[in-house]
Chain A
């Protein structure tokens, strides 16, 4: 299966961005979805795991959700800050095969 993300999104500071991650086959609800943030020159770090859980140290501005009707997951970043400018990847699995989405570049205008 594949996970499809928009290539890029842009928004002004203080506003909200929503990044979608659509699963091509199989139910989005059948496997946990994770979201990773990757700043330029750095390794990815987890911002959301198990669909909607937020690791300690990640601001409450980051939230995750699942929508079975569209078979997609979403990462919402509210109160956008300059430091949120980065690439974001969703990730899920089917049996023992783990798949990443193509990534979304978030630009803070």
Chain B
């Protein structure tokens, strides 16, 4: 059974870089038909897609975050990671990682999701 688990600091100072890792178990991150994504949710608010990465390292990001986001993948550890630079209080959110399924090269749904990790931006 595929499971994803986010890990990283629960608090980051303003202007610093948020770094999170998602560990995948139960399936290979090198699966050719899947992407891997990050989604965030500010407290009491809705979901926002951050970006996707393929096992080859190919990425695409939310245009509104593109200048601050970097995603990477480590196939040897079955992990992928998120870095968000120059954070402010507006980046305080629960961060989820998820598998993004594709069907005949068309994006389908995000499933499953990790349990999420709350990251607070505060000095």
Contact = CB atoms under 8 A, between A and B. Distances in A.
Contacts of B116: 43
Interface residues of B, number: 24
Most A CB atoms within 10 A — which of B39, B47, B63, B109? B109
B109 A100 contact: no
Interface residues of A, number: 22
Contacts of B47: 36, 44, 89, 91, 100, 103
Interface of A is mostly: strand
A84 to B, nearest CB: 19
A96 interface: yes
B103 A50 contact: yes
11 contacts: A32-B103, A36-B109, A43-B96, A43-B114, A44-B47, A44-B113, A46-B110, A50-B103, A97-B60, A100-B46, A103-B46
Interface of A: 31-32, 34, 36, 43-46, 49-50, 55, 89, 91, 93, 96-103
